[in-house]
Structure 1
């Protein structure tokens, strides 16, 4: 079933399937460039600001941690503000964070901009999947694939265009600040589209439609489910791998003699592979309710990718970036689908997704810092890549628990 044919217009009117897809892409593509642009420019940033490798890791750690914390408050923000105001306010925060990088000649300013962007991204990531499930109930897997592909595609743009801008003579501040432009373009599109979607407030598990109960009820019972923590751990460890390559793949290859532009291109290739897998694998996985075989494939790709970085980093780096990117992107998208699969209610599934992202991104945020510390101890990135290999093995054990026949039992409300 195609995306366009299965997207259901809302009762309020004229939101066409094609326009809804455009809005999802336009919004989501802005959620990663501010992050992926930093790694390839890290050397230039360090020279200007005096930031060490460990300090530079905070430009990835801080926004990802805020993504995690913000995702936990997303259901409350949705209840208080509505999807339209919450998402558009988030886009304003991202735009402000990117724009302020124009004057980001010091570590405190850069950290503040990372915090602004991370806070903005958090609310979008915590709210938009639930909106997608309600607006496109019959095509959740392909729509989440599209969402994930746009996320990774935005990352590819950040990793490629900002280093090229420096190659064209731009200052690194301008090369980071240019990502204000696509956010400003997405803002009126989101305001228009989300104003046509009539979403009910989130309801607690088991509540009757229309019951006015606090959104925290969903959070409370979900947090008491062991499955919620399993999903958090899987999502966090996988995204730790993403955070690690975003932060350190370009500096790693720069230490092997690569230029800023060529190392940025490698990160962009990895991100394109992520986007392709994120778009395609959920569609393939939609043929069965059990997503685990496909997740296992993505984990195998990650094992190969990180293994090559440890033992043969100069052997076919482009091919390895494609394999690793496919593993990371496909696993990200499939975990989003699995979380939404667990509950039939869009609001409850959205709340579970937000909790998974919240705990997951907090866990993922530590990966760049851990790798920086291991680099400081060993003088090499190899120990960090081994750390990521171990994380992939842990995810493999946890994913084996995610049989769809157990979803209802795992998410049964207490009492």
Structure 2
């Protein structure tokens, strides 16, 4: 158990502002580069599969660094650990913006390490300091993250077409973590008394033998797989279908903005449902329909982008909700969260380079989009199984 003084007044407002600003850095600094992947590939002479590694490296960092975040927080405190995560993101952006292919990949990996720390620790901070406002702040967190990502995707191509080029455009994304650092500076002085513990996870390996745990894990994991394939390759898919770079960047931004909308709607709907089977199947099938639509009716790409974003965002929120609903204790919830996160990000890391390789071999995006659609159908089945009103029982 941990204890912390509940923030109030100006201190609480400053803390919330810092939390929301950190949230902006956890997606835009990673996905903001996606509309420029085709330009980067051309300038450095990379294959499509090699370019896909720019999406895969952060995901590998998420998978392997996330389990270490609790240990870092135990030693430094959550506030200082989040400050370090912002420093890593700033350093990574600077390295990535250097005119070197090696620095591009190195900086991307460093950014992934910083985001991994933030991904794990920020929700824990909200749970610790605002236990009565978790749902409200999570909705604000999701909306802020999606809005920042959408803004970055919409602006990155026009910035890259200016005098600074795409290197300068990527460097300009540093404004998000710099502002976050300034807002978070007062939290550095907080004493590291309240920490995160991962002991429960270590003593609950039996969760890996639970069918229900695997259903929750695959529901979240397949969503991560599909989301990062689409978020990484959507601009390239649209360019191949005749859209301009600016149009592709705008639709990429719309998709990310639409992932934030379910954060406001889904929690309100869940309270009225006996179980979550129907809504889990529905939002997963939205992903299936939209990925198929991107190939069979590319003229409606704006609609498919919005539908996919909403479906994927709702699936993520449902999956995170399942972790709390299906676990029978706090320790079990931690174990399930660790299992779902590690498997999910490993699946997601495999997706972009594999689909890039298939594209290089086949010459178009038909097979990758069909694979995403079929995977979304499997995700719907897992979601309907995970949505049953029951808890994990371990023997």
Matches within 5 A, 1:83-102: 83-102=78-97
Distance 1:201 1:67, change over 3 A: closer
Given the superposition, is the C-alpha separation of residues 333 and 146 from structure 1 closer, same or farther in structure 2, using an over 3 Å criterion? farther
Match of 1:29 in 2: 24
2:144 is equivalent to residue 157 of structure 1: no
Does the 8 Å contact 2:324/2:333 carry over to 1? yes
Q: Which residue of 2 aligns with 1:238?
A: 223
Distance (Å, rounded) in 2 between the aligned partners of 1:388 and 1:375: 13
- C-alpha spacing 1:198/1:224, structure 2 compared with 1 (3 Å): farther
Given the alignment of the two structures, is residue 284 of structure 1 paired with residue 266 of structure 2, yes or no?
no
The answer to whether 1:307 aligns with 2:292 is: yes
- 1:350-389 mapped onto 2 (5 Å cutoff): 350=334, 352-389=336-373
Q: 1:140 to 1:73 in 2, by over 3 A?
A: same
Question: Cα 1:333–1:12, aligned 2, differ >3 Å: closer, same or farther?
Answer: closer
TM-superposed deviation, 1:345: 5.8
Deviation at 1:276, TM superposition (A): 1.4
Q: What displacement does 1:225 show?
A: 4.3
How far has the Cα of 1:12 moved from its partner? 5.3
Query: Per the alignment, in what secondary structure is the counterpart of residue 65 of structure 2?
Result: helix
Partners of 1:110 and 1:297 in 2: how far apart?
39
Name whichever of 65-74 and 260-269 sits farther off: 65-74
**Aligned 1:49-88 pairs, distance under 5 A:** 49-88=44-83
1:164 & 1:347 partners in 2: Cα distance? 47
Q: Equivalents in 2 of 1:277, 1:230: separation in Å? A: 22
Q: SS of the counterpart of 2:53?
A: helix
Measure how far apart 1:72 and its partner are. 2.2
- The secondary structure found in structure 1 opposite 2:241 is coil
The separation in 2 between residues aligned to 1:51 and 1:26, in whole angstroms, is 34
Deviation at 1:243, TM superposition (A): 0.7
Contact residue 74 and residue 123 of structure 1 kept, 8 A: yes
Compute the RMSD of aligned alpha carbons.
Answer: 2.6
Question: Aligned to 2:384, which of 382, 391, 400?
Answer: 400
Matched-pair contact (CA < 8 Å) for 2:217–2:340? yes
Query: Conserved in 2, the CA contact under 8 Å of 1:232 and 1:355?
Result: yes
In structure 2, the CA distance between the partners of 1:169 and 1:256, relative to structure 1 (3 Å rule), is farther
Q: Larger % of helix: which?
A: 2
Q: Distance in 1 between matches of 2:73 and 2:376?
A: 33
Structure 1 residue runs of 5 or longer lacking an equivalent are 1-8, 206-214
Choose 317-326 or 127-136, whichever is displaced more: 127-136
